[in-house]
């Protein structure tokens, strides 16, 4: 699980603090009595099919000592295989936009609703001369944001900010590769227009992450007077690295028992590749099968040779990362007790992956606390 994270959201606007910020921001509301929430983002293995436990709820505090009702509603987004384009979690409607006028004031009534998408993979943003437009979104999972950008109009300035700190700016075109982003970090796209018909074209947006999906748990805290605060708690489902694959051991009759015959050489008895969290084969409690739900699959082919009169089966394993096209190969050697003869077992091309369910989408829940 991730480290504790200070989170706060006032009424009416949502605000998400970055992971390295543990201070509460200054309240910018008139009542000064909106509830305060303090929670943390969570991370689970891709095989954990249940929703996050209710014990992960945030701490709630009322500055005025009022009774608070805490509710949540889950929304799941698929992040598998580095989805490309402004879709899913990164759909245009999920980006918060604001327009800053030339005098520095924020134009609330004229703020853009979101990115203007031309197809699923590109967006063209137009800005009036003399103003600045920002679009921002909270990053849902650890990873790197990458995309291409091209400014229309030579003297217009495009910038990218992470947690309000500028990391790149320019007035031509380039490809952006972010520093490591963590759940809750704010990614902001900004265009400062100095000429009419200023625009920036964005393309091939991706979040490079090991997360297969993320649940945005929308927490809302409401007191008895109707004051509210809310925030999105990110619960990510991580896929393992191919480097964590552990192949089944050889059966040479010395370090591990040989097979009595070809009928006993099936992987159900000789072992399948597994993911091993700690890299120690002697602790099987942290191992789970290579499977499709985590974005991997495994195949094998068998080759028969002889060591004197003993039949030797060489099982050639291939593990494939469906997302990154990475592969890992290993040959498992299995000795048989029986003498020369046809000892090749039946040959399936691919062993069946466990049919695991997708992460569950929990129903809304209500928790009441008098604070």
| SS3 of the chain | CCCCECCCCCCCCCCCCCCCCCCCCCCCCCCCCCCEEEECCEEEECCCCCCCCHHHCCEEECCCCCEEEEEEEEEEEECCCCCECCCHHHCHHHCEEEEECCCCCEECCCCCCCCCECCCCEEEEEECCCCEEEEEEECCCCEEEEEEEEEECCCCEEEEEECCEEEEEECCEEEEECCCECCCCEEEEEEECCCCCEEEEEEEEEEEECEEEEEEEEEEEEECCCCEEEEEEEEEEECCCHHHEECCCCECCCCCCCECCHHHCCHHHHCCCEEECCCCCCCHHHEEECCHHHCEEEEEEEEEEEECCEEEEEEEEEEEECCCCCEEEEEEEEEECCCCCCCCCCCCCECCCCCCCCCCCCCCEEEEEEC
Domain that holds residue 293: 242-335
Q: Could you give the CA distance from residue 36 to residue 33 in angstroms, rounded to a whole number?
A: 9
Domain assignment present for 210: yes
231 and 247 in a common domain? no
pTM of the full structure:
0.69
Which of 238, 273, 308 terminates a domain? The answer is 238
Domain assignment present for 53: yes
The tens place of each residue's pLDDT in the chain, 371 residues long, gives 333 332 333 322 233 333 333 333 333 334 568 888 888 898 888 766 554 555 578 888 888 888 889 999 999 998 877 678 888 899 888 888 877 765 444 443 443 444 555 555 666 666 777 778 888 999 999 999 999 998 887 678 899 999 999 999 998 889 999 999 999 999 999 988 887 778 888 888 999 988 888 999 999 999 888 899 888 999 998 888 888 899 999 998 887 888 887 788 899 989 999 998 888 888 888 888 887 778 888 999 999 888 877 889 999 999 998 887 789 999 999 998 755 445 655 555 444 444 333 333 333 333 333 32
42 and 174 in a common domain? yes
The torsion angles phi and psi of 243, rounded to 5 degrees, stand at: -70, -15
Q: Could you give the CA distance from residue 48 to residue 28 in angstroms, rounded to a whole number?
A: 39
Number of domains in the chain: 2
Domain assignment present for 369: no
88 and 123 in a common domain? yes
216 and 85 in a common domain? yes
179 and 137 in a common domain? yes
210 and 122 in a common domain? yes
């Amino acid at each position: 699980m991730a480290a504790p994270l200070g989170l706060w959201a006032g009424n009416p606007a949502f605000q998400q603090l970055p992971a390295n910020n543990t201070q509460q921001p200054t309240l910018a509301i008139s009542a000064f009595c909106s509830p305060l929430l303090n929670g943390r983002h969570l991370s689970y293995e891709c095989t954990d099919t249940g929703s996050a436990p209710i014990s992960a709820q945030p701490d709630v505090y009322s500055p005025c000592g009022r009774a608070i009702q805490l509710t949540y509603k889950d929304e799941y987004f698929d992040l598998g295989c580095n989805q490309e384009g402004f879709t899913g979690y990164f759909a245009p409607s999920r980006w918060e936009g604001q327009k800053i006028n030339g005098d520095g004031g924020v134009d609330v009534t004229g703020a853009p609703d979101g990115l203007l998408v031309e197809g699923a993979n590109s967006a063209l943003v137009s800005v009036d001369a003399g103003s600045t437009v920002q679009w921002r979104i909270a990053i849902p999972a650890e990873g790197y944001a990458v995309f291409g950008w091209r400014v229309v109009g030579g003297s217009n300035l495009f910038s990218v900010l992470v947690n309000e700190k500028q990391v790149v700016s320019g007035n031509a075109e380039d490809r952006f590769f972010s520093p490591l982003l963590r759940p809750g970090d704010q990614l902001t796209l900004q265009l400062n227009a100095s000429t009419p018909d200023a625009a920036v074209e964005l393309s091939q947006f991706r979040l490079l992450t090991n997360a297969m999906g993320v649940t945005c748990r929308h927490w809302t805290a409401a007191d008895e007077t109707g004051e509210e605060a809310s925030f999105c708690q990110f619960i990510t489902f991580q896929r393992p690295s191919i480097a964590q694959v552990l192949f089944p051991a050889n059966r040479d009759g010395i370090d591990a028992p040989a097979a009595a015959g070809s009928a006993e050489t099936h992987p159900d008895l000789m072992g399948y590749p597994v993911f091993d969290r700690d890299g120690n084969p002697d602790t099987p409690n942290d191992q789970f099968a290579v499977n499709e739900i985590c974005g991997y699959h495994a195949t094998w082919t068998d080759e028969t040779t002889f060591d004197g009169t003993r039949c030797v089966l060489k099982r050639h394993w291939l593990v494939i990362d469906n997302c990154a096209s990475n592969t890992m190969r290993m040959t498992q050697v299995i000795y048989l007790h029986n003498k020369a003869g046809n000892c090749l077992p039946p040959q399936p091309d691919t062993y069946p992956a466990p049919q695991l369910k997708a992460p569950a989408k929990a129903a809304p829940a209500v928790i009441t606390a008098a604070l």
